[in-house]
Chain A
Amino acid sequence: MSNYKVLVSKLGLDGHDRGAKVVARALKDAGFDVIYTGIRQTPEQVVEAAIQEDVDVIGVSILSGAHIHHVSRLMKLLRERGLNVPVVVGGTIPIPDVPRLKQMGVREVFLPGSSLKEIINVVRRLAEEKRRAEQQA
């Protein structure tokens, strides 16, 4: 079985890529194949990259405060394209926004202070789930 593939992306215009890079590094060290798209990505670019790379999980990091706007667009595009890739979001997300994001279909939200171990575990679980679902299909 090949490695799980994860797309790590910075959605929106803010350049605070410290978190995204640390997570990308940690995922790689944990045995994932990570595709890093860099900063200033639009939801369209993220969805297209996920399609072309056929990833198992999409992870986006947003610290600009525009998470509701970008993520709702991202989830809408994924639905339109019929894509079943789990999405996780990290960044400075106010707690009251967490349920809103989950309602949109985001599988997990990582707030500041989340541990790498926790992130790796969740991503692995979601990737497993996705591959299993695909085998059945």
Chain B
Amino acid sequence: MPEKPKVAFYWCASCGGCEEAVVDLAEAILDVIAAVDIVFWPVALDFKRKDVEAMPEGSILVSFVNGAIRTSEQAEMAHLLRSKSKLLVALGACAHLGGIPGLANLFDRESILKAVYLEAPSTVNPEGSLPTTHHKDDGHSVELPGFYNTVQALNQVVEVDYSVPGCPPTPRIFRTALQTLLGDELPAKGTVLAPDCALCDECPRKDSKPEQLSIVEFKRPQQLLIDEQKCLLAQGLLCMGPATRAGCEALCVRGNMPCSGCCGPTSRVKDQGAKILSSLASLVAGKEAAEIDRILATIPDPVGTFYRYSLPASLLHRKQLDRASLHEAAASK
């Protein structure tokens, strides 16, 4: 019997949803298990880092890494899996684009640590101790993973062969991606394994979208009784569909919620947020500066809305670091 292809899963800075997504394959997971040999999956199976280190280079067919890279340990694991695998796949929005953890790029390490360990109302930390990478206690010393200033997408740290988009990838996207990867014909390196068209294409509400949209106020879903048939953007809801890769079958929109952009931009777009901005800007009804300002002010949290999943991978990348943090960042490289 020929050897089954070896597959690994790993989890970096993410919520765990992508792991769920794998489990969400339901019965199909049995087919997967039948087809492959899972050699590493910390969330489900008891393998350790040293087991991976012991494997020959390139012996794993595919490693699926979900989560963004925000600590030194995650970067090390990414490099390790890269060297052991023929194909390295970014699974889910965080590995693909930086994801929601990537919004931390609006801050820097110091302010994040300060907020979490010193200022948060629920924090009790009378000594004011902060995480460090070296710790000595009672003559013993431990080394801990370092916390980076900047969150990065997987391909900003190691070479990535493919990405599977979504927060998390829907079972269908994941299944199709798996089939593609285990199949004979591999797509070009760098391909995002989902349709290369925006969501409106597969949206059930597409026909109701008017040719001439003119938005007088952006609304949040709780502010109106949403018409279940009509294009959400036409109802003033900030739907990211026009700027977001299709493939999810418009699950959110079918659930009466606007697309929040988790599948990222199409291959032709470098900056999803900038793209939706430039298209929304043309829909704003106002002509006078004051009226335009009023309408734009109804957009809640613009960065968090337009770049919810893609800030690290975007042209913006992060908020500018002050000089001191810049030096540190350079030194840590």
Real complex partners, A and B?
no
B residues neighboring A (CB under 8 Å): none
